């Protein structure tokens, strides 16, 4: 098992991303303890909605490309919602960073996703499907990674109890006991 930390590295790097829940062959997934229960809820909601919206956009584009020309207007209309959701991801990332200064990487990633989404809208409006489609796939992948990361965050409780793990003096993880009422 890895030592519990709150380093600001993405969970995909596997180094310093937080503690891990043990599976049958070792760590199953990284867990990152953070401050800001409401901010974590906001991030989870916005990233999940943005990810769903990218999948809706892909479905609408696919229907249009297979001959349903009416879906193009829906695809164009949904662009505004997707841009709004990706902008809200930046707000959530900044709010999380304000409470957890070590988490810097989500801000540039969410900014890149917003820029890609705006570029995607311009490419689509200009009919540049050769670039529009691969950029859409990249946005879907980035959104899926953001959702995974947001749901691996474990907010610390206000009284310090129920946090997922805490390093002990031996360098191993110790699970904090939870108090039930």
pLDDT digits (tens, 9 = 90+) for 75-133: 999 999 999 999 999 999 999 999 998 888 899 999 999 999 999 999 999 999 899 99
Name the packing angle between helices 71-99 and 106-125 (round to 10°): 160
Per-residue pLDDT reduced to its tens digit, 159-174 = 555 444 444 344 444 4
Say what the pLDDT of residue 156 is.
Answer: 87
Query: How many whole angstroms separate alpha carbon 136 and alpha carbon 131?
Result: 9
pTM: 0.70
Look up residue 27 and give its two tokens: 């760590």
Mean pLDDT within 6-30 = 51
Q: State the pLDDT at residue 4.
A: 44
Tokens 């809706």 -> residue: 56
Q: Is the pLDDT at 158 greater than 80, yes or no? A: no
pLDDT at res. 93: 94
Residue 178 DSSP class: P
Q: What pLDDT was estimated at residue 22? A: 54
Using CA atoms, how far apart are residues 161 and 97, in angstroms rounded to an integer? 22
* 40 pLDDT higher than 70: yes
pLDDT for 27 equals: 54
The set of long-range contacts for 140-146, using a CB threshold of 8 Å and a minimum separation of 24, is 140/51, 140/54, 140/55, 140/58, 142/109, 142/112, 142/113, 142/116, 143/47, 143/50, 143/51, 143/54, 143/113, 144/51, 145/10, 145/12, 146/47, 146/50, 146/51, 146/89, 146/106, 146/109, 146/110, 146/113
Determine contact, residues 6/152, Cβ cutoff 8 Å.
no
Least confident among 26-30, 32-36, 124-128, 146-150: 26-30
> Cα(125)–Cα(175) distance, rounded to whole angstroms?
52
């Amino acid at each position: 098992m890895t030592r519990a930390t709150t380093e600001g590295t993405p969970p995909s790097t596997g180094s310093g991303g937080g503690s891990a829940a043990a599976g049958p062959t070792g760590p199953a997934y990284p867990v990152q303890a953070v401050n800001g229960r409401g901010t974590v809820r906001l991030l989870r909601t916005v990233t999940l909605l943005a990810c769903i919206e990218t999948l809706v956009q892909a479905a609408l584009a696919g229907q249009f490309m297979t001959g349903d020309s009416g879906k193009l207007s829906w695809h164009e209309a949904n662009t505004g919602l997707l841009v709004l959701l990706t902008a809200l991801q930046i707000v959530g990332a900044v709010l999380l960073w304000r409470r957890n200064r070590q988490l810097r990487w989500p801000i540039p990633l969410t900014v890149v996703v917003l820029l890609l989404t705006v570029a995607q809208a311009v490419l689509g409006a200009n009919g540049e499907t050769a670039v529009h489609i691969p950029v859409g796939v990249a946005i879907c992948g980035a959104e899926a990674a953001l959702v995974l990361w947001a749901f691996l965050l474990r907010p610390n409780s206000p009284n310090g109890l129920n946090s997922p793990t805490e390093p002990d003096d031996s360098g191993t993880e110790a699970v904090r006991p939870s108090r039930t009422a």
